[in-house]
């Protein structure tokens, strides 16, 4: 690939990133302009029961609606909890935050996760998920602050460790990102499982190590961060040697850049790990 | 061009789902949850149209509290919607034994009886519901249908008039009213034909056309058509 192609390709990438930004930001702005609730919220189930029973009912109803993909109805169920039964119900807010996030209304999700944390300062999952919502709005500093707060409250919280690693890499803090991901890996002991699987004398009938496949996610992210770090260095080299840089490095940089702009985008929030407040099933 | 397409696809995927962590598959009947929770789950699945999951959730609620009339009644509704009339009747009977003032359970059982052609029991259930809740439009509506299915049009009209006095803008009531009038018309034309025998004047025109149409109309005593006018208990 010659220099002109590189420039052309970079131009296309810049346009695509711009389109992405517009999509995300416009989506968020459109959500902000949503009209107020047109149909009044009716929360008349288990009316003669205790508040605890009513909350329990709407938690169940909301969970099933969420799992059925009926997000507006799920939103109403959790709204019944926080708007009509218990205005300080942290799980109600966090669950509705999950619904808003699924509806891609990240502004409202941030609001609800924030209310959840106000109601229960120990709910680190809400901080983690708010960080993800900030990242979706491309406010990486705010996202980093939330992952930091989650880790201050619970230093071993692996979801926030992995997520902070991703955000740090996006901010160019590669060493810190790698350190967080290595910590997540060693804390989960997924490295022990990997070493066991790679053991040369391992026999076919040896028991398979027990681990949570979700913990393997840290390795995938670590690879992406190393790739981004490598790309950053290649680009530094190419900037310094332009236009006489080694063509092998130009080629490697182009390849990595393509990956980083498409299927391995660190700013794609699908790499972030969300705490789940709404049970599945 | 291909790059743009791929890029746009990725854009659409961006900011979409995140990896859901801590997603343990819940036990079918999570022992940490109470009856109300499972009733909530069941109602949502019922409204979302997944009757199998709804019935499973109500059954979980009943594991927690076998005396929950609400869980029993709602499982009955779901079983009825699934076509399991016997299971639905069993649940509704148990629910009513536990709570003899459960209006919706009477209405729903009445509907089941109408579907089975057991009008006396259906009317008794609608009567019970209306004793407990006189302005219950659904009970009035369904009792009217039950009466009409037995050609008791005057009683059907009285019930629909009473329901319309409460809910004059209810379209389903107007539809049922029209059907009852059609039934009455079919009955009158039928009597005309019985009296006239073979001496029906073949004059053509509106009366003849109407008669022939009504004779073909399934409403003239076709019970299956009346079932379409039954009304579900509103959530």
Q: Do B16 and A104 touch (CB under 8 A)?
A: yes
CB of B147 within 8 A of CB of B183?
A: no
Q: Work out the average pLDDT over A242-270.
A: 95
Question: According to the model, what pLDDT value does residue A24 have?
Answer: 42
**Long-range contacts: A203-207, Cβ < 8 Å, 24+?**
none
* E strand residue ranges, A217-264: none
CB of B45 within 8 A of CB of B53?
A: yes
The residue with greater pLDDT, B24 or A188, is: A188
Report the percentage of chain B scoring pLDDT > 70. Answer: 76
Question: Which residues does chain B have within 8 Å of residue A27's beta carbon, measured at their own beta carbons?
Answer: 15
Nearest-Cα distance to chain B for A47, in Å, is: 11
Biggest distance spanned by C-alpha atoms of chain A: 79
The count of C-alpha atoms lying within 13 angstroms of the C-alpha of A70, restricted to the half-sphere facing its C-beta, is: 20
- Cα nearest neighbour of B40 on chain A: A61
d(CA A110, CA B186): 64
Contacts of A117 (CB under 8 A, 6+ apart): A90, A123, A126, A127, A130
Can you tell me the ipTM of this complex? Answer: 0.78
Q: Work out the average pLDDT over A252-257.
A: 96
- pLDDT for residue B7 is more than 70: no
Question: Which residues does chain B have within 8 Å of residue A104's beta carbon, measured at their own beta carbons?
Answer: 15-16
Question: Which residues does chain B have within 8 Å of residue A85's beta carbon, measured at their own beta carbons?
Answer: none
Nearest-Cα distance to chain A for B12, in Å, is: 8
Q: Which residue has the tokens 């109300």?
A: B36
- pLDDT for residue B9 is more than 50: no
The count of C-alpha atoms lying within 13 angstroms of the C-alpha of A144, restricted to the half-sphere facing its C-beta, is: 17
**What is the pTM (predicted TM-score) of this model?**
0.80
B45 DSSP 8-state letter:
H
Reported residue count of chain A is 281
Instruction: State whether residue A195 is helix, strand or coil.
Output: helix
Question: According to the model, what pLDDT value does residue B222 have?
Answer: 58
Instruction: State whether residue A274 is helix, strand or coil.
Output: strand
C-alpha distance across the termini of chain B, in Å: 52
The residues with which B179 forms a beta bridge, in sequence order, are none
Q: Is the dihedral of CA B149, B152, B158, B159 positive or negative?
A: negative
Q: Do A68 and B4 touch (CB under 8 A)?
A: no
- pLDDT for residue B194 is more than 80: no
- pLDDT for residue A25 is more than 70: no
Q: Work out the average pLDDT over B23-52.
A: 87
Q: Using CB atoms, pick whichever of B22, B33, B47 lies closest to residue A275.
A: B22
Q: Do A61 and B40 touch (CB under 8 A)?
A: yes
- Cα nearest neighbour of A258 on chain B: B3
Instruction: State whether residue B14 is helix, strand or coil.
Output: coil
B19 DSSP 8-state letter:
E
Q: Do A265 and B10 touch (CB under 8 A)?
A: yes
Nearest-Cα distance to chain B for A59, in Å, is: 6
The count of C-alpha atoms lying within 13 angstroms of the C-alpha of B29, restricted to the half-sphere facing its C-beta, is: 15
Question: According to the model, what pLDDT value does residue B224 have?
Answer: 60
User: Which range, of A101-105, A240-244, B34-38, B206-210, averages the lowest pLDDT?
Assistant: B206-210
CB contact A21 to B (< 8 Å): no
Question: Which residues does chain A have within 8 Å of residue B74's beta carbon, measured at their own beta carbons?
Answer: none
Question: According to the model, what pLDDT value does residue B214 have?
Answer: 65
What confidence tens digit (pLDDT) does each residue in A218-241 have? 999 999 999 999 999 999 999 999
Pick the closest to residue B223 from B135, B144, B146 (CA basis): B146
Nearest-Cα distance to chain B for A277, in Å, is: 9
φ, ψ (nearest 5 deg) of residue B95: -60, -40
Q: Work out the average pLDDT over A242-246.
A: 93
- pLDDT for residue A21 is more than 50: no
Q: Please give the distance of CA B97 from its chain centroid, rounded to a whole number.
A: 22
Question: According to the model, what pLDDT value does residue B232 have?
Answer: 81
Cis peptide before B49 (omega within 30 of 0): no
Question: Which residues does chain B have within 8 Å of residue A9's beta carbon, measured at their own beta carbons?
Answer: 3
Instruction: State whether residue B20 is helix, strand or coil.
Output: strand
d(CA A210, CA A242): 50
d(CA B180, CA A211): 68
The residues with which A274 forms a beta bridge, in sequence order, are B20
d(CA A101, CA A104): 5
Report the percentage of chain B scoring pLDDT > 90. Answer: 62
| Helix boundaries (H) for chain B | 2-13, 35-48, 51-64, 69-81, 85-98, 103-116, 119-132, 137-149, 153-166, 171-196, 205-216, 223-227
Arithmetic mean of pLDDT over chain A: 89
Question: According to the model, what pLDDT value does residue B59 have?
Answer: 97
- pLDDT for residue A135 is more than 70: yes
Question: According to the model, what pLDDT value does residue B201 have?
Answer: 60
Q: Using CB atoms, pick whichever of A12, A20, A276 lies closest to residue B22.
A: A276
With bands split at pLDDT 50, 70 and 90, how would you rate the model's confidence at B221? Answer: low
Give the best residue of A64, A68, A220 to mutate against chain B (max B CB count within 10 A). A64
Residue B118 burial (10 A CB sphere; 0-12, 13-18, 19+): middle
Arithmetic mean of pLDDT over chain B: 84
Q: Do B42 and A73 touch (CB under 8 A)?
A: no
Q: Work out the average pLDDT over A93-106.
A: 98
Question: According to the model, what pLDDT value does residue B15 have?
Answer: 42
Question: Which residues does chain B have within 8 Å of residue A281's beta carbon, measured at their own beta carbons?
Answer: 25-26
The residue with greater pLDDT, A209 or B28, is: A209
Give the best residue of B6, B28, B32, B41 to mutate against chain A (max A CB count within 10 A). B41
Q: Using CB atoms, pick whichever of B11, B47, B57 lies closest to residue A23.
A: B11
Question: Which residues does chain B have within 8 Å of residue A23's beta carbon, measured at their own beta carbons?
Answer: 11-12, 14-15
- pLDDT for residue A72 is more than 70: yes
CB of B78 within 8 A of CB of B59?
A: no
Element spanning B232, H or E: none
Instruction: State whether residue A9 is helix, strand or coil.
Output: helix
């Amino acid at each position: 690939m010659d220099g002109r192609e590189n420039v052309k390709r970079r131009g296309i990438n810049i346009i695509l990133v711009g389109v992405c930004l517009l999509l995300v930001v416009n989506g968020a702005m459109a959500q902000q302009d949503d009209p107020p609730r047109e149909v009044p919220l009716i929360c008349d189930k288990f009316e003669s029961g205790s508040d605890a029973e009513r909350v329990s009912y709407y938690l169940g109803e909301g969970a099933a609606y969420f799992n059925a993909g009926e997000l507006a109805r799920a939103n109403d169920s959790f709204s019944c909890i926080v708007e009509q039964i218990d205005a300080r119900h942290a799980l109600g807010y966090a669950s509705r935050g999950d619904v808003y996030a699924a509806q891609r209304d990240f502004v409202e999700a941030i609001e609800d996760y924030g209310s959840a944390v106000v109601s229960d300062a120990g709910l680190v999952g809400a901080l983690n998920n708010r960080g993800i919502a900030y990242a979706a709005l491309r406010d990486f500093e705010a996202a980093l602050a939330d992952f930091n707060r989650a880790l201050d409250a619970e230093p071993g919280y692996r979801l926030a460790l992995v997520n902070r690693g991703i955000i740090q890499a996006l901010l160019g803090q590669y060493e810190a990102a790698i350190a967080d991901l290595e910590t997540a890996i060693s804390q989960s002991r997924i490295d022990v499982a990997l070493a066991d699987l790679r053991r040369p004398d391992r026999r076919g009938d040896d028991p398979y190590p027990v681990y949570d496949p979700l913990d393997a996610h840290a390795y995938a992210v670590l690879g992406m961060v190393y790739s981004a770090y490598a790309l950053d260095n290649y680009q530094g080299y190419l900037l310094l040697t332009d236009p006489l840089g080694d063509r092998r490095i130009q080629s490697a940089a182009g390849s990595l850049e393509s990956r980083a702009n498409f299927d391995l985008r660190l700013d794609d929030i699908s790499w972030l790990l969300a705490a789940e407040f709404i049970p599945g099933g | 061009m291909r790059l743009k397409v791929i890029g746009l696809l990725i854009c659409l995927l961006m900011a979409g789902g995140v990896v859901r962590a801590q997603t343990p598959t819940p036990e079918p009947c999570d022992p940490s949850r109470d009856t109300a929770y499972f009733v909530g789950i069941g109602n949502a699945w019922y409204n979302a149209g997944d009757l199998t999951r709804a019935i499973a959730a109500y059954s979980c609620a009943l594991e927690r509290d076998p005396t929950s009339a609400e869980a029993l009644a709602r499982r009955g509704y779901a079983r009825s919607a699934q076509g399991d009339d016997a299971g639905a009747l069993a649940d509704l009977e148990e629910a009513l034994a536990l709570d003899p003032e459960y209006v919706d359970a009477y209405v729903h059982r009445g509907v089941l009886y109408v579907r089975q052609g057991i009008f006396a029991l259906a009317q008794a259930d609608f009567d019970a519901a209306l004793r407990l809740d006189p302005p219950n439009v659904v009970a009035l509506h369904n009792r009217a249908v039950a009466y009409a299915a037995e050609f008791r049009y005057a009683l059907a009209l009285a019930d629909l008039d009473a329901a319309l006095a409460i809910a004059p803008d209810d379209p389903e009531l107007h539809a049922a009213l029209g059907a009852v009038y059609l039934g009455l018309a079919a009955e009158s034309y039928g009597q005309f034909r019985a009296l006239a025998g073979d001496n029906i004047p073949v004059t053509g025109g509106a009366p003849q056309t109407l008669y022939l149409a009504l004779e073909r109309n399934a409403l003239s005593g076709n019970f299956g058509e009346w079932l379409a006018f039954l009304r579900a208990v509103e959530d």
